[in-house]
A and B are shown apart, each in its own frame.
Chain A
């Protein structure tokens, strides 16, 4: 019922033992004490647990911890580089895309992944890219604006 796994999280390698029925979300939060990733429903609906697995967003509540063996995980704690916030983190602050903040880590990961695969998304693409992330505070408008603005910043960055 226990499995040895090795995987990297936010660039750090971990060799740990996990229980077979524990989700990746539990392993991150409880064993690695990376509590930025949140549990909002345990059923893949709310998106608060979204993390990157090998660069692609997944609902960590529906991934078993043991499945992370050999994979690379990025959580909200790993979005900033050398203390510099990623563009989407900056624009979420600047444009007021966060209120209670509980959905925010998942939104950031989903939006970050969206901008990786589609650097210049349309408004509808942004909305659909966030459909798996529920937010009850903001009404989404400022989150959508933050993604739009982050896309602009990223493009400006790559031009420079």
Chain B
């Protein structure tokens, strides 16, 4: 691994200034489970890594007075997946975070790093998309907030500009009675990078023809994690077995996967259908049971 320097700023301003100084050759650094591998494989050659873990609020997971969950960008996957409030109110997110790699990796891997790395397969993203999370960004121009759905631009690309840092993600509380599940298909049973992932969140909604409303998000089947809007709409209309089947097909139609060494586009597309149907069926069964 080629040498680089390490700094650990104490304030956001200092961190942002450092990122600007090094002409793009400074990289924010959280759990470094993505970053260090890219450096080691020779894909990145930063002059300096900027450890953001000591910045104020970066490692905190808490429910704010407004009921929204605030996840500091450098909170680890385990912090989120094992947090009592997350398990109780945002269990879909807990499932997504708990599906990442192994327990020891999740002690380092952060939610912010997962999102900033912007892999289409990022496992925290589908759940956060379902919950309509918001990304909070600090940069030379100050603070700004972006709905997570607009945060990703493409594989490895986000709206973050030079000198900007993701500071936190906030997640509004889901509708009452919401049930969610994250389904992940890998090559090995547990801990693989997602070949396909589907997050499904449903809740009772008397205003909807089916009596339910839905958010569905897909991972690893498009340049970014995406919502499956048509599938959501169809389920709002009809959540009967036929409706579920139609919605699952609509989700598959929303996918724009590629062929790669992990799977073909055709397989991924069909797996979106299967996982969506299974996820929706499971959510429906649990909604009925409660």
> A and B: direct contact (Cβ < 8 Å)?
yes
Q: Which of A's residues lie within 8 Å of B, judged by CB?
A: 1, 3, 19-21, 23, 42-44, 47, 50, 53, 56-59, 62-64, 66-67, 110, 113-114, 127-129, 131-133
18 A–B contacts from the bound complex (CB under 8 Å): A21-B1, A21-B3, A21-B6, A23-B36, A47-B102, A47-B104, A56-B78, A56-B107, A57-B103, A62-B33, A63-B108, A64-B32, A67-B51, A110-B103, A110-B104, A127-B190, A131-B103, A132-B101
Q: Is the CB of A43 within 8 A of B101?
A: no
List B contacts of A133 (CB < 8 A): 102
Q: Is the CB of B104 within 8 A of A59?
A: yes
**Least distance between A91 CB and chain B CB atoms (Å):** 20
Instruction: Identify the closest chain B residue to A132 (Cβ).
Output: B102
- Measured in the bound complex, the distance between the Cα atoms of B2 and A47 in whole Å is 23
Most chain A Cβ neighbours within 10 Å, of B36, B101, B191: B36
Is B5 part of the contact surface with A, judged by Cβ < 8 Å?
Answer: yes
Proximity bits, B26-39, A CB within 8 Å = 1, else 0:
00000111001101
Is B4 part of the contact surface with A, judged by Cβ < 8 Å?
Answer: yes
Proximity bits, B1-41, A CB within 8 Å = 1, else 0:
11111100000000000000000000000011100110110
Contact for A20 among B3, B37, B104, CB less than 8 A: B3
List B contacts of A63 (CB < 8 A): 32, 108
- Measured in the bound complex, the distance between the Cα atoms of B99 and A128 in whole Å is 10
Q: Which of B168-206 contact A (CB under 8 A)?
A: 190-191
Q: Is the CB of B4 within 8 A of A59?
A: no
List A contacts of B5 (CB < 8 A): 1, 20
Is B85 part of the contact surface with A, judged by Cβ < 8 Å?
Answer: no
**Least distance between A98 CB and chain B CB atoms (Å):** 19
- Measured in the bound complex, the distance between the Cα atoms of B101 and A47 in whole Å is 11
Instruction: Identify the closest chain A residue to B76 (Cβ).
Output: A56
Q: Is the CB of A20 within 8 A of B6?
A: yes
Given A3-B6, A62-B32, A66-B6: A129 and B103 interface contact (C-beta under 8 Å): yes
Given A42-B40, A43-B40: A132 and B6 interface contact (C-beta under 8 Å): no
Contact for B108 among A21, A47, A62, A66, CB less than 8 A: A62
- Measured in the bound complex, the distance between the Cα atoms of B78 and A53 in whole Å is 14
Instruction: Identify the closest chain B residue to A50 (Cβ).
Output: B104
Number of A-B contacts (CB under 8 A): 76
**Inter-chain pairs besides A20-B4, A20-B49, A57-B103, 5 sampled, C-beta below 8 Å:** A21-B1, A47-B104, A50-B104, A62-B33, A133-B102
Q: Which of B38-63 contact A (CB under 8 A)?
A: 39-40, 49, 51
CB-CB nearest 6 A-B residue pairs = A132-B102, A20-B6, A57-B104, A131-B191, A21-B3, A131-B190
**Least distance between A37 CB and chain B CB atoms (Å):** 13
Given A62-B33, A62-B36, A64-B32: A21 and B105 interface contact (C-beta under 8 Å): no
- Measured in the bound complex, the distance between the Cα atoms of B153 and A81 in whole Å is 52
Q: Is the CB of B3 within 8 A of A132?
A: no
List B contacts of A129 (CB < 8 A): 103
- Measured in the bound complex, the distance between the Cα atoms of B190 and A64 in whole Å is 27
- Measured in the bound complex, the distance between the Cα atoms of B40 and A56 in whole Å is 25
- Measured in the bound complex, the distance between the Cα atoms of B191 and A52 in whole Å is 20
Q: Is the CB of A21 within 8 A of B104?
A: no
Q: Is the CB of A114 within 8 A of B103?
A: yes
Instruction: Identify the closest chain B residue to A64 (Cβ).
Output: B6
Q: Is the CB of B105 within 8 A of A132?
A: yes
List B contacts of A64 (CB < 8 A): 6, 32, 36, 49
- Measured in the bound complex, the distance between the Cα atoms of B189 and A127 in whole Å is 11
- Measured in the bound complex, the distance between the Cα atoms of B31 and A47 in whole Å is 16
Instruction: Identify the closest chain A residue to B29 (Cβ).
Output: A64
Instruction: Identify the closest chain B residue to A42 (Cβ).
Output: B40
- Measured in the bound complex, the distance between the Cα atoms of B105 and A53 in whole Å is 12
List A contacts of B49 (CB < 8 A): 20, 64
List B contacts of A131 (CB < 8 A): 102-103, 190-191
List A contacts of B40 (CB < 8 A): 42-43
**Least distance between B41 CB and chain A CB atoms (Å):** 8
